[in-house]
Amino acid sequence: MEKTLVGFGALNLDLIYEVDDLQSISSKEFQFLPGEELFDDEYAFQFLLDQLARFGRLKSKSGGGSAANTMVALGRMGFRTKFIGKVGEDEEGDFLIENLKPVHTDLIRRGERSGICLVVLDRHQDRFLFVKGGANNTLRFEEIDLTGLQGLSCLHLTSFISDSPLEAQKELLKRIDPSALISLDPGEIYAKKGLKKISPLIERTQILFLTEKEMNLLTSRDLWTGAKMLLEMGPSVLLCKRGRKGSELFTRNYHFEVPSIEVKVVDNTGAGDVYNAGFLAGYLLGRPLEDCALFATQVAAKSLTGYGRERYPTREDLEVFFQI
């Protein structure tokens, strides 16, 4: 049976806006700061939409969500991919499912209104995110078709705002083949929930992706001490993504630094998700960890040069780098 990679995370419609300066759309009540994220505040969401209508320019409309981006990137590189998630019974839901190609979408459920992510870029390409969870928040374990996970070789988990889908992820980890590779990118949402809340995910994870800020939120430690602490919980590989500073790879007895690649940045939304896809692609091919991290950096840099998923990696990128 052909091996299948499955993503499990939020599905959002990404509306990417440009503004001259994030401060120009902020107020005393709502400060929209570079690198920050806000979640599920209806009043703040409406305020931001009004500000973007006045001062912003809509540059792109794209499918989004961390695990979804990673699965699309892996699918375009030739891997067989599926997705567990939930979208609304609306036009946005239709768009999100269509925009996931070539990912198989038979495990996606529908109901409520689709999730929306407002991505705001300023002239420096600094990014602010506002996520309205919608249907994502209502996903329950009982909605997951376990028969559709036959042949699962890798499960990649990312965050949800509400607890219901997080509990579904925890329960799914108890039900799947113990030999399946588990990777996790907790994102800022799960990092803010705290280590205790997501420890069942980390303990079952082999490959953990996170940023330096997320590591600090989870461990309150510096990079080295935090990495050691998290690796002792279960993961065998930890990747810390540091933006322009590159990334760092940790195992229990090994450390490798990966420099960034300078490109003209158009949109940095999803670059970390593409990094995850690049690393997983090399790992699943059995390549050395250093090569996996270098390829991840290369395809993430490529993704920065287009809006949304315009510049995601292809099968050719994979074949050229790994000479297959």
Residue 322: which residues within 8 A CB-CB, separation 6 or more? Answer: 282, 285, 287, 291, 295
Q: DSSP secondary-structure letter at 253?
A: T
d(CA 212, CA 223) in angstroms, rounded, equals 7
Nearest to 83 by CA among 154, 1, 181, 174: 154
Q: Are 309 and 75 in contact (CB under 8 A)?
A: no
Which amino acid, one-letter code, is at 19?
Answer: V
Question: In the chain, what are the domain boundaries?
Answer: 4-10+64-110+134-322
> What pairing do the DSSP bridges indicate for beta strands 247-251 and 237-241?
antiparallel
Mind listing the pLDDT tens digit of every residue in the chain (324 residues)?
467 999 999 999 999 899 988 888 888 888 888 878 888 788 989 999 999 999 999 988 989 899 999 999 999 999 999 999 999 999 999 999 999 999 999 999 999 999 999 989 887 767 788 999 999 999 999 999 999 998 899 999 999 999 999 999 999 999 999 999 999 999 999 999 999 999 999 999 999 999 999 999 999 999 999 999 999 999 999 999 998 899 999 999 999 999 999 999 888 878 999 999 999 999 999 999 999 999 999 999 999 999 889 999 999 999 999 998
Q: What is the CATH number of domain 4-10+64-110+134-322?
A: 3.40.1190.20
